[in-house]
Amino acid sequence: MSCSNETWTAPGPDAGTDWRSALAQPRARRWYIGAGVSALLWGTGAWTARMVDDTPVLLKLAIGANMVALFVVYAALPPLSWGRTLKFKLAAFGVLLAVDLLLFLTLGPESSWTWTFVAVAAAMQAYPGRTGYYLIAGLSASALLLQLAAGEAWEQALVQPAIILSGGLMMHAFGRQTETVRQLRSAQNELAALAVAEERNRVARDMHDILGHSLTVIAVKAELAGRLIAIAPEKAAVEVAQLEDLARGALADVRATVSGHRGVNISSELASARSALEAAGIEPQLPGAADEVPAKSRELFGWVLREAVTNVVRHSGADRCTVTLSGSAIQIDDDGRGPAGASAGGGLRGLRERAAAHGATVSLGPSPMGGFRVRVSA
């Protein structure tokens, strides 16, 4: 049961039918190898045992078909769930549980060995919070009750639940780790793409403004110098000298545009923040517009939102992030690990410096949501 760390971007709410790409992602193919080998070994043993006993033929065929269906769902469940919502994951798990219940109805208590697969599949779905632990513990407890109800002694009854619990918890830790890596890589890719797009837009806008003005002035002065050459050479020489200064100034402006710092605006940062949070699997709760923010605060609030969202994506482990915006303040809350999960590096120091330059105050601390809060008041 293996899994690689290749990045796959989960389909959004409008791409729910894109199950083919989910099943074909690189780490899914590696999961299939482990899942297939384990299913083959366990399934072959159980099927062989049924083939040699006196079970009716039709019942044998029903058990075999049910086992095939179970292992198909078992193999497909994690890849279809990676990067999806908790509601989707629970619904998918319910399908696997229903298929396993059908096997229980035909195979009886002997089917409890398949609960290990159910626990592993639940673990590899990478549930947020404690949900995965609850599901695995519930399966283990159910297996124990079933063994005791079947008359097994305690020392025998504990074997299968122990296998379910230990295997499920081990794979749960592995599944959460690989999901975290997937989220971070997806968020990094999204942030990089947004940065490239923003830089291109900035350069295009600035080049248009700078060169449009400079070249227009140069063209007018060149035309004037051409007319003055014959009638006033001295004045023409002055215009030519000014042309040289204008050309040098335009070249310097172009260089500054290409190498200069990127401009930031709260409106564009709201869109970037939403995209970055969704890529990291964090539910964004953001205002739809920033019309109430005065012009003097729009750049500062944009920097605040960018830095806070970056910290949420990288350090918080949050499931939700809420942004509250007014004309005088911006506030970012998450439900992650709290102050212990916040970055105390150069980002927040730079944020304090920017705020101080604008005469604003920065407040950092725990959030009522259970995570971390960043508030800047202008």
pLDDT at residue 378 in the model: 84
Q: Which two tokens stand for residue 249?
A: 């100034």
Residue 89 lies in a domain: yes
pLDDT at residue 46 in the model: 62
Q: Which two tokens stand for residue 68?
A: 């095939």
Domain end position, chosen among 170, 188, 206: 188
Structural domain of 364: 264-378
Residue 329 lies in a domain: yes
Residue 201 lies in a domain: no
Pairing of strands 372-377, 320-325: unpaired
pLDDT for 153 beyond 70: yes
Distance (Å, rounded) from C-alpha 85 to C-alpha 308? 23
pLDDT at residue 1 in the model: 43
Question: What percentage of the chain reaches a pLDDT higher than 70?
Answer: 81
pLDDT for 257 beyond 60: yes
Q: Of the candidates 305, 310, 304, 373, which has an alpha carbon nearest to the alpha carbon of residue 336?
A: 373
pTM of the entire structure?
A: 0.40
Please tell me whether residues 173 and 53 are part of one structural domain.
Answer: yes
Please tell me whether residues 19 and 167 are part of one structural domain.
Answer: yes
Distance (Å, rounded) from C-alpha 46 to C-alpha 35? 16
The owner of tokens 């007319």 is: 227
Beta-carbon contacts of residue 226 (< 8 Å; ≥ 6 apart)? 236
pLDDT for 357 beyond 80: yes
Distance (Å, rounded) from C-alpha 362 to C-alpha 325? 14
| Mean pLDDT value across residues 307-316 | 81
| Mean pLDDT value across residues 6-16 | 41
pLDDT at residue 296 in the model: 87
CATH number at residue 332: 3.30.565.10
φ, ψ for residue 360 (rounded to 5)? -105, 165
pLDDT for 170 beyond 90: no
Q: How many structural domains is the chain composed of?
A: 2
Domain end position, chosen among 144, 169, 188: 188
pLDDT at residue 377 in the model: 93
Please tell me whether residues 273 and 184 are part of one structural domain.
Answer: no
pLDDT for 13 beyond 50: no
Q: Of the candidates 265, 311, 305, 293, which has an alpha carbon nearest to the alpha carbon of residue 378?
A: 293
Residue 328 lies in a domain: yes
| Mean pLDDT value across residues 291-298 | 87
* Residue scoring higher pLDDT (234 or 339): 234
pLDDT at residue 264 in the model: 65
Please tell me whether residues 177 and 44 are part of one structural domain.
Answer: yes
pLDDT band at 15 (very low <50, low <70, confident <90, very high): very low
Query: What is the residue-wise DSSP string for 217-264?
Result: HHHHHHHHHHHHHHH-HHHHHHHHHHHHHHHHHHHHHHHHHHHSPPP-
Question: What percentage of the chain reaches a pLDDT higher than 90?
Answer: 10
Question: Which residues are paired to 376 by β-bridges?
Answer: 330, 362
pLDDT in tens, 29-88: 777 877 777 777 776 666 666 665 666 778 777 777 878 888 888 888 888 888 788 888
333 in Cβ contact with 369 (< 8 Å): yes
Domain end position, chosen among 165, 188, 211: 188
> What is the three-class DSSP state of 10?
coil
Taking the CB of residue 132, how many other CB atoms lie within 10 A of it?
Answer: 25
Pairing of strands 283-285, 372-377: unpaired
Strands (DSSP E) contained in the chain are: 283-285, 320-325, 329-334, 361-366, 372-377
Distance (Å, rounded) from C-alpha 254 to C-alpha 248? 10
Please tell me whether residues 85 and 181 are part of one structural domain.
Answer: yes
pLDDT in tens, 95-140: 888 888 888 787 777 777 788 888 888 888 777 778 878 888 888 8
Cα 27 to Cα 8, 43, 78, 190, 374: the distances in Å are: 9, 24, 10, 19, 36
Cα 277 to Cα 170, 254, 256, 288, 318: the distances in Å are: 28, 34, 32, 15, 10
pLDDT for 6 beyond 50: no
pLDDT at residue 16 in the model: 43
pLDDT at residue 233 in the model: 87
pLDDT in tens, 259-269: 664 456 788 88
